[in-house]
A and B are shown apart, each in its own frame.
Chain A
Amino acid sequence: MAPAETREDAVRLRVPAALEYVRIVRLTGSGVASRLGFDIEEIENLRVALDELASMTIDVASAGELEITFSTTDTELRIVGRAPIAKGVEVGVEPLTAQILKAVIDDYDLRTDDGFVCFSCVTRRPPI
């Protein structure tokens, strides 16, 4: 949680849980990151991370909506997403994806929670 003195803004996005919409997720994420002053390379990293996480989530989601919240403070961008999970699927991060995510984002998580597949990731940056 953000310390009391920092302001926390949130942008919420709901898209159909379909791969065609990953583009919108990336675009929104990069827009929010740009507002925080991320440089073009950091934004590219974030886009890769969002691409991986959103696609993985959608892969195991049943038809439904993917809900994503982008929250920002002065020092970090936190993204959480969730979608209803399909029956009988396993949720896991492939080794290649894990390597990629480790390289592009400070912290991430993918898990199931009460009928939902949920992801979260954080990119921290020094205060501007």
Chain B
Amino acid sequence: MSLSAEERAHSRAKFEEYRRTGDRKLRNELIEAHKSLASHLARRYANRGEPFDDLLQVAYLGMLKAVERFDPDRNLEFSTYATVTVEGELKRHFRDKTWSVRVPRRPQELHLRLGGVVNELSQRLGRAPRIPEVAVELGVAEEEVLEAMEVGGAYRSSSLDTRPGENGEPTAIERRLGAEDRGFDIAEHRVLLETVLADLSERERTIVELRFFYDKTQTEIAEEVGISQMHVSRLLARTLIQLRERLETLDA
């Protein structure tokens, strides 16, 4: 976007005035004046699965931030500065919002902090914490805690995320989905279960047995085995996936 010298001076004067006065009316004028740049940038990100209206909103928000932060004394074209800011906002939107495609970064980051906080709270409270307690401790909304938990423990459906095997081999879950015969023999299954349990490491087997055969809580197991509750949770999730995959392989 090239402007004439006159336009540039005019625009600069406006930005200087806005910085001086913080006049919201002036700010809105500046945003209005650059709306076409915002929609131009939003269009670049269209057709990636997000509604264009949403992208436009995000771009306007980026433009608002650009106008508020732009420093005319830095001898930079506003359009250059705004492009960077708006694109940053659009990229962040894709990172945070398109979580049906991949796990968003924020819950992932939160998940990493979750374990420590849950342990700390469990010790302090003498019981497993509730979600609002965890949310306060992490300084985030309760929904964010729940989403962070999702990152950690996708049990069965996680195997959907695994890529198809080489040479077009179906994955375990695909075989399962495609199976026509759902009949199974319980006695045979029990034998299978014992076989796969025997394959686990001693610690994994202990945890699975304590949890599912002796009905102990994760906290009780954590104490018994001498590891954290979150660690028990992760081990259980992983072990269950392993067990299921083994069962499916043997069963196929």
Where the two chains meet, the residues of A that have a C-beta atom closer than 8 Å to any C-beta of B are: 19-20, 22-23, 26-27, 30-31, 34, 37-44, 47-48, 51-52, 55, 59-60, 88-92, 94-96, 99-100, 102-103
Contacting pair B153 A95 (CB below 8 A): no
Measured CA separation A77–B122 after assembly (Å): 24
Q: Is the CB of B176 within 8 A of A23?
A: no
Residue B189 is within 8 A (CB to CB) of chain A in the complex: yes
Contact A34 B240 (CB under 8 A): no
Please report the C-alpha to C-alpha distance between residue A26 and residue B233 in the assembled complex, in whole angstroms: 16
User: What residue of chain A has the Cβ atom nearest to residue B216's Cβ?
Assistant: A103
Binary contact readout B145-159 vs A (1 if CB under 8 angstroms, 0 otherwise): 011011001111100
A-B interface pairs (CB < 8 A), number: 100
- B133: min CB distance to chain A, Å: 9
Please provide the 10 A-B residue pairs with the shortest distance between their CB atoms, ordered closest to farther: A34-B131, A41-B128, A39-B128, A22-B157, A99-B212, A51-B155, A89-B182, A55-B156, A90-B182, A103-B212
Nearest-CB residue, chain A, relative to B118: A40
A8 to chain B, nearest CB (A): 22
B190 proximal to A (CB < 8 A): yes
B128 → A minimal CB distance (Å): 4
Asked whether, in the complex, the Cβ of B149 is within 8 Å of the Cβ of A99, the reply is no
Check B217 against A41 for contact (C-beta < 8 Å): yes
- A90 contacts across to B, CB distance below 8 A: 182-183
Task: Give CA–CA (A75, B215) in the complex, Å.
Answer: 22
User: A residues within 8 A CB of B153?
Assistant: 44, 47-48
B4 CB, min distance to chain A CBs, angstroms:
53
Which residue on chain A has the smallest CB distance to residue B189? A95
Q: Are the CB atoms of A60 and B182 closer together than 8 Å?
A: yes
- Tell me if B143 and A100 are in contact (CB < 8 A): no
What B residues does A48 contact at CB under 8 A? Answer: 153, 155
In contact, B157 and A19 (Cβ under 8 angstroms): yes
Contacts A26-B150, A27-B146, A95-B189 given; indicate if A42 touches B128 (C-beta within 8 A).
yes
Given A31-B143, A48-B155, A90-B183; A41-B218 close (CB under 8 Å): yes
